[in-house]
Chains A and B, each alone.
Chain A
Amino acid sequence: MKQTFAIGIGGAAGQGVATPGDIFAKIFSRRGLHLNAYNAYQSIIRGGHTLLTIRTGTEKVTNMGDRIDLLIPLNQDTMDRHLKLLSAGAACIYNADTIKPGPAADGVQLCPLPVSELADISRNKVAQNTLAIGAGLHMMGIGFPALEEVLREQFKKKGEAVVAENVAVARAGYDYAAAHFRAFPNPLSRTENRYAILSGNTAMAMGGAAAGVKFYCAYPMSPSTGVLHWMAAHARKAGIMVRQVEDEIGVINMAIGAAHAGVRAMCATSGGGFALMSEGLGMSAMIETPVVVINCQRAGPSTGVPTKTEQGDLWQMLGAAFGDYPRIIAAPLDIGDCFKLIPEIFNLADRFQCPGLVLCDLLLSEGRLSVHPQDLDFSPSIDRGELITSTNGNGTPSAAATNGDYKRYKITDNGISPRAIPGVPGHIHTVATDEHMEDGVLISDEFTNPVKRRAMMEKRMRKVTGIEAAVPPPVLSGARTADVTLIGWGSTMGVIEEASEILNEQGISTNQLQIRWLVPLHGEAILEILKDSRHTIIVENNYSGQFARYLRSETSFVPDGHIRKYDGEPFMPHHIVEAVKEQLAGKTQWVGKTQVSVPMHEIMV
């Protein structure tokens, strides 16, 4: 197993969980360490319970892992919830003045800080946090200058006095730990690498900027709002028009309007907002104006659990808007992929003049990951497809006669018709959400025409063949044959990867098939891969096995088992490992000929 180290910082919202998290993250990234951070929180601004898990290591850290090495509870509630979950070798640093530890496992080091002795708590309300950071870093074997540097940056704006005070408090914690606590046996290493730390929302927003998005609009909705925030903050530098709209219906229609004028337009929302956008997606498909929509899934149905993750919107995406139309749906595999996917899906949406849908989730949207700066490529290929943009219109009228043969919906072999944008002389046409002929004239009202209707349906749907050819089929990772094949999609890539590693180490050979492109699915290729699998298990973050049902509908494939989780929290590696072992032993619940495991989330967050 890769060596990693995880810190859990918990407290009530408003108690300052984020700041120590940011400080640790900065220190780790400057040591050239990878990290993965996940914040379990609630829909509350003050109060409740949040737990931030930051896991670091020299190799890529793909998920929050199974264990916390250092727990920093900022209140009694956090101590009561999490101390009992620590195992031998872990430590817990806490304010001895206000928090009492409960029973802990053997080998867990309790590190009480006499906060009122070490700092003037009447002056510094978050002294316990700063002391704990200092103490923790000493135990991890990190020199004090690294912390001092970050504290200086953090408090620079508040003046030298505040900087000095925080540095002194941190120093007190650092020195106290040196004198009283046992350091962790393996000090955190250091590498020469430098990483960017970003959330999936930031990654998708930046991916949009890299793809040449010029118009972004949204209605705030957790967990997608981070995309709006990045876009709004960077709009002027990046030359992007960013608008907050009255509702998601307005969002999708405004985005389509901008796209129709000829720019790349994007919007992001969560399941509820996406539901409002469905009719607009149908318009995008019918008038053949490409738009990219991101759905950051949260636990549904309805308002659901706004701050919790789920992969529960797959069928909503598959069925969004009525009627048949070409669409592209992709689920990013990790936070780096959140960036990379956006230019790719824009190229496809532009080439095939249809909606491109990105199916992200809270785990990636709000999680944080270290990404190599080279993987944030701001010069990706940009393919606008067959777009007629010459805007030399300077007063020359184009009467009907001068429009020549231009037909917006010209019937072609590949279904793609060259798209002229408004303002181009000689290409005047009206696009319509009603069914229309090649020239855009309606065949829905005064005269209908079955022959033409069929021809237009087939023209649009022919694009599906091209999309299939443009999108690569999924590939198996790991050995060609194995005892177990774990199948997942989107954000579960990292945790399944780690579960596979653990299983392989324990002698259960495991490989992984992770799906990124959901539409087109490449069902034949998937069947070809799975035909050599001895035992297949589909792992997904929802109740009904939405991907399993989709795969079955497309290929008739039925796996040997399912591992599902729908409690709002993401999978941890041991959830999958234990479920696989139980299923191989035939000890789980049988549903017909397959087994279904629903792992219990042990952490109460």
Chain B
Amino acid sequence: MAIGVQRATQQLTMADLKGRVDPDWCPGCGDFGVLAAVQKALVELRIPNHNVVTISGIGCSSNFPGYMNTYGMHTLHGRALAVATGLKLANHELTVLVTGGDGDGFGIGGNHFVHSMRRNVDLLYIVMDNQIYGLTTGQTSPTSRVGMKTKSMPFGNIEAPVNPISLALAAGATFVARGFSGEQKHLTELIKQGIEHPGFSFLDVFSPCVTYNHDNTYQWFRPRVKKLEDDSAYDPADWKAAMENSLVWGEEIPIGKFFERTDVPTLHGAEPVLNEGPLVRCDPRVPLDVARSFIEELM
């Protein structure tokens, strides 16, 4: 986000970032923690809220943009990243946050997820991963663990879950992290880093569903999550170490920044058409001498 990030001349407050309505999430939902962390991160980064666009798909967590006082787009199920890519390319001075759930991002939106990462689109993608479909009242999601019983798989899930961190690393994401809604300060820090990272930042957040997922609860996660940052030997520049850690799941589950590299050009940075500034500010007219040359080619 290095290019074009503008800082507010005066301090925003948490209240400034509060949307027009209060969240309709169930009491205790992990998404509250993510919302607060995002607002806190924006306050601390002093980014003017009219230069922020929060874009989501569909699902419980995708109601997120409505609870923010930034520009927002509540798009189609699974399509937030595609919309966000177009928006960022048309005006790369905007700070783009994409928010959604595991079904939205890894299920119906899986194709865009992979391709947005390899393109290194400059945005922060936060997945509120609760390992369940909530808004459709409790079905198996792409991150549901084997054996988990849901309304769609009442005898237990027999399909292996997707590993979002490994997938992101393999697809070429240049910032890969995992947070936990129950670890506010840590999460806020990851969000700040993700916003400031030039390129695609992927942040998978354990955001427990208190209504439909009785397996992966706050109580389940708390003793297990272990911050990578606590290991002073851990080097987020080491992709192989990141991949190895991404496979750890059990009594210990790593959270924190798995990987970051800043030497890959962002999509908008690699495109010479944007050298003159954001497209949205360019003259829509093709210069007449250029237009004449286009016609001349055909004669």
CB distance from A128 to the nearest CB of B (A): 29
Q: Is B112 an interface residue (CB 8 A)?
A: yes
Q: Given known contacts A263-B279, A397-B8, A423-B51, is B74 in contact with A258 (CB within 8 Å)?
A: no
- Do B20 and A262 have beta carbons less than 8 Å apart? no
The docked-state distance in angstroms from the alpha carbon of A109 to that of B13 is: 88
- Do A254 and B71 have beta carbons less than 8 Å apart? no
- Do A253 and B86 have beta carbons less than 8 Å apart? yes
CB distance from B216 to the nearest CB of A (A): 24
Q: Name which of A194, A198, A259, A398 has the most chain B CB atoms within 10 A of its CB.
A: A398
Q: Is B226 an interface residue (CB 8 A)?
A: no
Q: Which residues does chain B contribute within 8 Å of A424, judged by CB atoms? A: 50
- Do A202 and B298 have beta carbons less than 8 Å apart? yes
- Bitwise, A14-45 to B at CB < 8 A (1) or not (0) is 00000000000000010000000000000000
Q: Name which of A265, A279, A373, A422 has the most chain B CB atoms within 10 A of its CB.
A: A422
The docked-state distance in angstroms from the alpha carbon of A379 to that of B19 is: 43
> In B48-83, which residues have CB < 8 Å from any A CB?
48-51, 53-55, 58, 63, 65-66, 68-76, 79, 82-83
Select the stretch in B241-249, B254-262, B287-295 that faces chain A: B287-295
> In A199-254, which residues have CB < 8 Å from any B CB?
202, 206, 209-212, 214-215, 217, 234-241, 243, 245-247, 249-250, 253-254
Q: Which residues does chain B contribute within 8 Å of A68, judged by CB atoms? A: none
- Do B280 and A433 have beta carbons less than 8 Å apart? no
The docked-state distance in angstroms from the alpha carbon of A236 to that of B283 is: 14
> In A396-420, which residues have CB < 8 Å from any B CB?
396-400
Q: Is A183 an interface residue (CB 8 A)?
A: no
Q: Which residues does chain A contribute within 8 Å of B233, judged by CB atoms? A: none
The docked-state distance in angstroms from the alpha carbon of A429 to that of B271 is: 29
CB distance from A420 to the nearest CB of B (A): 9
- Bitwise, B76-114 to A at CB < 8 A (1) or not (0) is 100100111111111101100000000000000001101
The docked-state distance in angstroms from the alpha carbon of A376 to that of B286 is: 13
- Do A254 and B82 have beta carbons less than 8 Å apart? yes
- Do A236 and B272 have beta carbons less than 8 Å apart? yes
CB distance from A149 to the nearest CB of B (A): 14
Q: Which residues does chain A contribute within 8 Å of B15, judged by CB atoms? A: 399
The docked-state distance in angstroms from the alpha carbon of A399 to that of B7 is: 15
- Do A439 and B79 have beta carbons less than 8 Å apart? no
- Bitwise, A412-445 to B at CB < 8 A (1) or not (0) is 0000000001111111111111100001111001
Question: Which of A214, A246, A287, A373 meets B90, CB within 8 Å?
Answer: A214
- Do B87 and A246 have beta carbons less than 8 Å apart? no
Q: Which residues does chain A contribute within 8 Å of B68, judged by CB atoms? A: 430
Q: Is A264 an interface residue (CB 8 A)?
A: yes
Q: Which residues does chain B contribute within 8 Å of A235, judged by CB atoms? A: 273
- Do A395 and B48 have beta carbons less than 8 Å apart? yes
Q: Given known contacts A261-B280, A262-B280, A431-B72, is B273 in contact with A240 (CB within 8 Å)?
A: yes
Nearest B residue to A254, CB-CB: B86
CB distance from B257 to the nearest CB of A (A): 27
Q: Is A280 an interface residue (CB 8 A)?
A: yes
- Do A283 and B75 have beta carbons less than 8 Å apart? yes
Nearest B residue to A26, CB-CB: B299
Q: Which residues does chain A contribute within 8 Å of B89, judged by CB atoms? A: 215, 241, 243, 254, 258
The docked-state distance in angstroms from the alpha carbon of A198 to that of B12 is: 55
- Do A422 and B16 have beta carbons less than 8 Å apart? no
Q: Which residues does chain A contribute within 8 Å of B281, judged by CB atoms? A: 391
Q: Which residues does chain B contribute within 8 Å of A431, judged by CB atoms? A: 72-74
- Do A395 and B286 have beta carbons less than 8 Å apart? no
Q: Is A446 an interface residue (CB 8 A)?
A: yes
Q: Given known contacts A206-B294, A430-B66, is B90 in contact with A280 (CB within 8 Å)?
A: no
- Do A214 and B65 have beta carbons less than 8 Å apart? no
Q: Given known contacts A238-B290, A265-B90, is B299 in contact with A197 (CB within 8 Å)?
A: yes
> In A370-385, which residues have CB < 8 Å from any B CB?
373, 376, 378-379, 382
> In B1-41, which residues have CB < 8 Å from any A CB?
6-10, 12, 15-16, 18-21, 24
| Tally of A interface residues using CB under 8 Å | 81
Q: Which residues does chain A contribute within 8 Å of B87, judged by CB atoms? A: 257-258, 260-261, 422
Q: Name which of A238, A240, A397, A445 has the most chain B CB atoms within 10 A of its CB.
A: A397
Q: Is A256 an interface residue (CB 8 A)?
A: yes
The docked-state distance in angstroms from the alpha carbon of A260 to that of B114 is: 23
- Do B74 and A236 have beta carbons less than 8 Å apart? no
Q: Is B263 an interface residue (CB 8 A)?
A: no
Question: Which of A261, A373, A427 meets B86, CB within 8 Å?
Answer: A261
The docked-state distance in angstroms from the alpha carbon of A206 to that of B292 is: 11
- Do A257 and B84 have beta carbons less than 8 Å apart? yes
Nearest B residue to A205, CB-CB: B294
Q: Given known contacts A195-B299, A202-B298, is B48 in contact with A397 (CB within 8 Å)?
A: yes
- Do A429 and B71 have beta carbons less than 8 Å apart? yes
- Do B66 and A446 have beta carbons less than 8 Å apart? no
CB distance from A338 to the nearest CB of B (A): 13
Question: Which of B69, B293, B299 meets A196, CB within 8 Å?
Answer: B299
CB distance from A475 to the nearest CB of B (A): 29
- Do A426 and B50 have beta carbons less than 8 Å apart? yes
Q: Which residues does chain B contribute within 8 Å of A202, judged by CB atoms? A: 298
CB distance from B1 to the nearest CB of A (A): 15
- Do A264 and B284 have beta carbons less than 8 Å apart? yes
The docked-state distance in angstroms from the alpha carbon of A400 to that of B12 is: 11
CB distance from B124 to the nearest CB of A (A): 16
Which B residues are within 8 Å of any A CB, using their own CB?
6-10, 12, 15-16, 18-21, 24, 48-51, 53-55, 58, 63, 65-66, 68-76, 79, 82-91, 93-94, 111-112, 114-115, 271-274, 276, 279-286, 288, 290-291, 293-295, 298-299
Pick the 7 closest A-B CB pairs, nearest first.
A212-B284, A257-B86, A430-B72, A261-B90, A378-B291, A253-B82, A254-B86
Q: Given contacts A195-B299, A239-B276, A239-B283, could you give 20 more A-B pairs where the C-beta distance is less than 8 Å?
A: A206-B294, A209-B291, A214-B284, A238-B294, A239-B273, A241-B89, A241-B279, A243-B89, A245-B115, A249-B111, A258-B87, A261-B88, A264-B284, A280-B76, A395-B7, A395-B9, A398-B48, A427-B50, A429-B71, A431-B72
